Amino acid sequence: MHKTYLNADLHCHSVISDGTLTPEQLARRAADRGVQLWSLTDHDEISGQDRAMAAARECGLDYLTGTEISASFAGNTIHIVGLGFDHRNPALLEGLHSIRHGRAPRARQMAEALEQAGIPGSYEGALRHAGNPELISRTHFARFLVEAGHCSDTYEVFRRYLAEGLPGYVPHSWARLGDAVRWITGAGGVAVIAHPARYELSANEEYALFYEFKTHGGQGVEVVTGSHRPSEYATYADMAREFGLAASRGSDFHSPEESHTDLGSLPALPSQLTPVWELLEKRVIRA
Ligand code: AMP
Ligand code: MN
Ligand code: MN
Ligand code: MN
């Protein structure tokens, strides 16, 4: 018999990547907001997993290990969430390390581009927010630009400077799709396409993404996420059924000040989908 979770939240970020709360604060917040099964999915990094697991236990939450891997596909950046893997797996650790390696040089290039656009000092400014040059991200640049008075909130920074085609955007090569999937599955986990509606893919490219993801051994897709509009839930519920993928649910919470969707606040998955946690029953760390 499957254990059903009415409130699973399998996507969020801590200070270890580009969130503003610690793993312990996130666990407490998740529990207070009714989450029953939780995962911390920092970008390209799993060093927070031991803390998240301990905090989950402390707060009475069932837990799945997690990460969100940056990958490149058809000239676009896409994100692959990994759930329920062995967080000590050497190939996974090595793969994640190889992607993080590119972040500092990219950030230097972003800072040069922003300087040309009249914004000095952004590398140092973003690094203050990130703490670690290996994990410096556009979110940290966005926080610096708000702090320095260039924009009124981080969403405005992305609209004016950091999205593709804008002055502070620097193209980057992340992991290959197949590598990202295999790092996760090779460590015993399930790979999930994160927030598919957020990518600027043509219909053909999107089909190719799902098809290739499945071919590489991917098994899930986020259907209900804070990064989707409610109208997009049905679209990706259909895609999940068409491709035989399990469905995931996660807020993509980053910060009480910045995020529109809080932990545990999403609606349930649409019916007639296999929840991704049914594939991961043996990997759940029970509170
Ligand atoms: P990076 O991995 O450095 O490219 O940064 C990507 C992060 O920036 C994502 O994980 C989000 O947290 C944030 N982000 C990307 N696009 C937007 C946007 N349009 N508005 C707000 N945050 C965004
Ligand atoms: Mn992020
Ligand atoms: Mn993402
Ligand atoms: Mn995310």
pLDDT in tens, 216-257: 999 999 999 999 999 999 999 999 999 999 999 999 999 999
Ligand 1 lined by 154 (C-beta under 6 Å):
yes
Question: Where do the domains of the chain lie, and which CATH numbers do they carry?
Answer: 8-99+175-283 (3.20.20.140), 103-162 (1.10.150.650)
Contact 194, 251 (CB under 8 A): no
Across the chain, mean pLDDT equals 97
Q: What is the pLDDT, as a whole number, of residue 234? A: 97
Q: Hey, whose CA ends up nearest to atom 12 of ligand 1?
A: 139
Q: Hey, whose CA ends up nearest to atom 18 of ligand 1?
A: 158
Q: What is the pLDDT, as a whole number, of residue 92? A: 98
Q: What is the pLDDT of residues 37-53, one digit of tens each?
A: 999 999 999 999 999 99
| CA–CA gap between residue 109 and residue 103 (Å, rounded) | 10
Q: What is the pLDDT of residues 125-152, one digit of tens each?
A: 999 999 999 999 999 999 999 999 999 9
Distance 199 CA to ligand 4 centre (A): 13
Q: What is the pLDDT of residues 54-82, one digit of tens each?
A: 999 999 999 999 999 999 999 999 999 99
How crowded is residue 150: how many other Cβ atoms within 10 Å of its Cβ?
18
Strand locations in the chain (E): 8-9, 37-38, 62-63, 66-73, 76-83, 175-176, 190-193, 220-225, 246-250
Distance 112 CA to ligand 3 centre (A): 25
Ligand 1 lined by 43 (C-beta under 6 Å):
yes
Average pLDDT of 193-197? 98
From the CA of 194, the nearest ligand is 3
